[in-house]
Structure 1
């Protein structure tokens, strides 16, 4: 299951969540999380004007707060390795991915 994000993607294979971030002119960075280690998820659907985001909460990591600037539209900063901004066209696939992660968490 894959979600195309803004400058990156999220994939989930039933056990592992992989967040890939690719900044322009830089090497792609992968962040991996086990679904069993996730304590919560946050999904803010995108609108036609602003990107949304998917964020995974893990123990021991500080939750990145939403930026309130006009350009970020209430998303966590790009440097947060546990979240990824999503465009409007990815809302459905992001909701399905979050539901699958929540189901995997519940079955552990």
Structure 2
């Protein structure tokens, strides 16, 4: 299962979540999270005017909050390794992925 986000992707194989961000001019460094280690998920659907996001919460770490401003309005910062911004066209795929992760961590 895969969700194409803004400058990256989230993949879920039933056990592992892989967040791959593709920054310009840097090496790709995927982040792997085990679904059983996730304590929660946050999903905000994208709209016509703003991107949404998918964020995974882990024990012992604080969730990055939503930023203000024109470019990052209502999303965690790009530097947060446990989240990815998503466009409106990826809302359905992101919703399915979040549901699958919630069921797997169950």
TM (norm. structure 1) is 0.96
CA offsets 1:46-70 (integer angstroms, 9 cap, x no match): 0011000000000011110100112
Residue in 1 aligned with 2:55?
Answer: 55
The count of aligned residue pairs is 106
CA distance in 2, matches of 1:105, 1:54: 16
Task: Give the match's secondary structure for 1:29.
Answer: coil
Partner secondary structure for residue 20 of structure 2: strand
C-alpha root-mean-square deviation of aligned residues, in Å? 0.6
* Partner Cα distance (1:12, 1:6) in 2: 17
Distance 1:24 1:105 in 2: 33
Matches within 5 A, 1:56-71: 56-71=56-71
Counting only pairs closer than 5 Å after superposition, residues 22-41 of structure 1 correspond to structure 2 as 22-41=22-41
Moved over 4 A (4+): none
Q: CA deviation at 1:104?
A: 0.3
- List gaps (5 residues or longer) in structure 2: none
Distance, in Å, in 2 between the alignment partners of 1:39 and 1:3 is: 20
- Which residue pairs with 2:85 in the alignment? 85
Q: Structure 1: any 5+ residue segments left out of the alignment?
A: none
Structure 1 partner of 2:94: 94
- Return the TM-score normalized by structure 2: 0.98
- The offset of 1:39, in angstroms, is 0.2
